[in-house]
Structure 1
């Protein structure tokens, strides 16, 4: 306070930032204002943020492959990363170019087969009174796509899918080449007292993400190859395509297994009852191996996620952010849990239980 020319005592106004009360209130208002801006950014920039996170996931897979290759080849990290990247891109190109024609033909046959089998099931349900109105597969699929709304918005067209894939690939390669550069750049925006904790959290999150993606790739390979071989032995048609679809859908826990299981069973019963039961057995065996051997092992090495938590996150992220959110729900939840666990380790008092 100060005394004016007329003897009137002046008080500090709201623009006087030297007042500790004003500074404290301004700090609180800034926190809430920043939180509101963050929520708006997540809502309006959901797809770009998911593409960036997908690039980080890809970078973790490339970095993990380079680390694994380092145990076999005593060469520089740049060369190992180049080998892993070229091998991955070459596999994708081979799958689309050399196997594209046969897979496309089988995919059309699989679509017709699934439609015919689904119409047969719907007719049976209509005869029993379970399904009313004589709904067909085409009508049901149209209703389903209409109810899903934004679920396929991220890859609504082939051009959009290719563009998204290229962006993820570029982001992943750049981050994998020099991950410390981006880590230091993000830490630069934090206060000095928070940087050590950030580096520890980022290191633990990177380790967890590499292990999680390694286990996911192993599970995809086991499910895809195992389904392919077992269906081929049982004489189920389109075993190669079903194996590829099963392997790809294994990237999405819970929901992917359900979708691939339905396709496998429908393909099996299209041949005969024995082939249908064989397909059911194949699905059970593959899921048991993945669920009771691979998944628990990966959980012990990374972060143990409750199945209900993962499924709930998939439904939530799928409804909010589309197909990309559905695919990335599992690693997002794993990273959030890892960050909270690391925060609890850095500040044990915050997680201590009161008597």
Structure 2
């Protein structure tokens, strides 16, 4: 009987499925870990765009929810009615904007590319007079390569249903979530362990509050920049003898829309404004530079600090770096959602630090007792 047990032990020791060498087992464990990491990264890349669309819907829902809460302070009606009023007002504004753009600035929009191209040509000519050897054909090739690269990145939006369908999908999901957000919050909490549900509710509440205030501040900044730009270009400029800046309405709308993307949006709108300004002469061009810095400084030193006190104060360099990364990975959609996503990551990290501190205090109190 002992001999049979000894033979069985030997068979088990020499089985191909059993590895006795600890070094080999360690290397196999490392290989499994690396395979799991690579698989997780591939899965994350595969589902990143659908998740980004869902996050975009959450951002849209927070904007609707914020408007509904503001209406709730003055209108004692149900939440569904308040959400419907916010959506109706938003649709009416978009229709008015489309009508205004079509009836007022359609010709300006058609002339806009020609003015920009002419001003770039004059800028190149001035650079040559200063001794810079710049070949316009090479520059056009570079711009073409950049444009093709941007279009390639922008086509990342088509990974789900296409650009327009993606926007529609974000809107539909956002409306459903805005109508009854607690339903989806309870659904997510139900999938978590019981002891994790209360911290999840606190984190979700903090994120929701931060997102609403962030989006409210963003919309306020867009409106302020658009109004100030139009007033300075179309009203103040003639009063001081410079004359109305061409395409003031179009520039104001572009400045307001691009203000949704911090840092990068301001740079793009400023370049366009200055190029159009110099088409009316050096004096007008210098005035548009002044308008750009005035509007951006007012927004940066008055509007943004007021908003940052009640939201997440993000470092500009960190926001810009994250925007570049998200823009390269996911195109226009990633660029627009970079700032809200970074704010949510910061809130989650802050909540995690708070929970760790609370756990340490509880352990200290338990040990002291």
Q: For the superposition of Structure 1 and Structure 2, which TM-score range results when normalised by the shorter chain?
A: 0.7 to 0.9
Residue 57 to residue 50, structure 1, CA distance change in 2 (3 Å): same
Aligned mate of 1:330, from 339, 345, 360: 339
Aligned equivalent of 1:104: 106
Matched position secondary structure for 2:136: coil
Aligned equivalent of 2:233: 231
Aligned equivalent of 1:201: 203
Equivalents in 2 of 1:321, 1:290: separation in Å? 28
TM-superposed CA distance for 1:124, in Å, is: 2.2
Equivalents in 1 of 2:107, 2:356: separation in Å? 58
Q: How many residues align?
A: 337
Aligned equivalent of 2:256: 247
TM-superposed CA distance for 1:183, in Å, is: 1.3
Residue 282 to residue 322, structure 1, CA distance change in 2 (3 Å): same
Aligned equivalent of 1:266: 275
Aligned equivalent of 1:67: 69
Aligned mate of 1:316, from 299, 321, 325: 325
Q: Which moved more, 1:164-173 or 1:342-351?
A: 342-351
Equivalents in 2 of 1:132, 1:96: separation in Å? 40
> Could you say which structure has the larger radius of gyration?
2
Aligned mate of 1:88, from 81, 87, 90: 90
Deviation per CA, 1:168-191, whole angstroms, max 9, x where unpaired?
110110111111111122222222
Paired residues of 2:124 and 2:134 also in contact (CA < 8 A): no
Residue 87 to residue 162, structure 1, CA distance change in 2 (3 Å): same
Aligned mate of 1:56, from 55, 58, 66: 58
Paired residues of 1:230 and 1:282 also in contact (CA < 8 A): yes
Unaligned runs of 5+ in 1: 16-27
Query: What are the residue-to-residue correspondences of 1:1-355 with 2, within 5 Å?
Result: 6-7=4-5, 36-135=38-137, 138-148=140-150, 150-154=152-156, 160-233=162-235, 234=237, 235-348=244-357
Equivalents in 2 of 1:32, 1:186: separation in Å? 30
Equivalents in 1 of 2:358, 2:2: separation in Å? 50
Residue 4 to residue 294, structure 1, CA distance change in 2 (3 Å): farther
Deviation per CA, 1:172-226, whole angstroms, max 9, x where unpaired?
1011111111112222222222121111111100100000000000000000111
Deviation per CA, 1:306-350, whole angstroms, max 9, x where unpaired?
000001101111111111111111111100000100111122178
Q: How well do the aligned residues superpose, as a CA RMSD in angstroms?
A: 3.0
TM-score of the aligned structures, taking structure 1 as reference length: 0.86
Equivalents in 1 of 2:359, 2:323: separation in Å? 29
Unaligned runs of 5+ in 2: 18-29, 238-243, 362-369
Matched position secondary structure for 2:261: coil
Paired residues of 2:54 and 2:170 also in contact (CA < 8 A): yes
More helix, by proportion: 2
Paired residues of 1:106 and 1:238 also in contact (CA < 8 A): yes
Q: Which moved more, 1:131-140 or 1:309-318?
A: 131-140
Paired residues of 2:322 and 2:342 also in contact (CA < 8 A): yes
Residue 4 to residue 307, structure 1, CA distance change in 2 (3 Å): farther
Deviation per CA, 1:280-313, whole angstroms, max 9, x where unpaired?
1111111011101111111110111000000110
TM-score of the aligned structures, taking structure 2 as reference length: 0.83
Residue 201 to residue 36, structure 1, CA distance change in 2 (3 Å): farther
Equivalents in 1 of 2:32, 2:68: separation in Å? 43
Residue 138 to residue 112, structure 1, CA distance change in 2 (3 Å): farther
